[in-house]
Amino acid sequence: MKSRIRNVYPETAVLLFFDNERAAEVSKTLENAGLRVLVPERSEYGKTVGCLTKLSPDTEGKGSTEFPESGELIIFSGLSSKRLDTALEALREDKLSVRFKAVVTQYNVKFTVAELLEHMLDEERKIKK
């Protein structure tokens, strides 16, 4: 008999910097792919990635709500690499392009949205060189 290890964290996508219409389109696609979709209020963007994805309580207070240049951002949490591929493929099939996509890691779980975006923008600049 094979045993399966069940993920204790729900497969989640957090949508940030989306307008209402785009959030609805992307939410529908990701929900159809089996993910829980969260769209926090802009006032919550100062919280940590862990707090926004419901992995940890907001024990660190609020971070900066000043953001670097940005674009739409999806933060994925609790997905295996295969399930992440499935979610990304669903977005491609529905022709929904999103500038930034991140996966929660032990490294970035304590980042605020501003810190995560700054890190992603740095990586983008390095790639473009």
pLDDT tens digits along 67-117: 666 789 999 999 999 999 999 999 999 999 999 999 999 999 999 888 898
Query: What are the structure tokens assigned to 66, written together?
Result: 């000043």
d(CA 31, CA 119): 28
d(CA 22, CA 17): 10
The residue among 43, 53, 63 whose CA lies nearest residue 105 is 53
**Are 90 and 33 spatial neighbours (Cβ–Cβ below 8 Å)?**
yes
Tell me the residue ranges of DSSP E strands in the chain. 12-16, 36-38, 73-77, 100-103
pLDDT tens digits along 32-67: 999 999 999 888 888 889 889 887 766 555 665 666
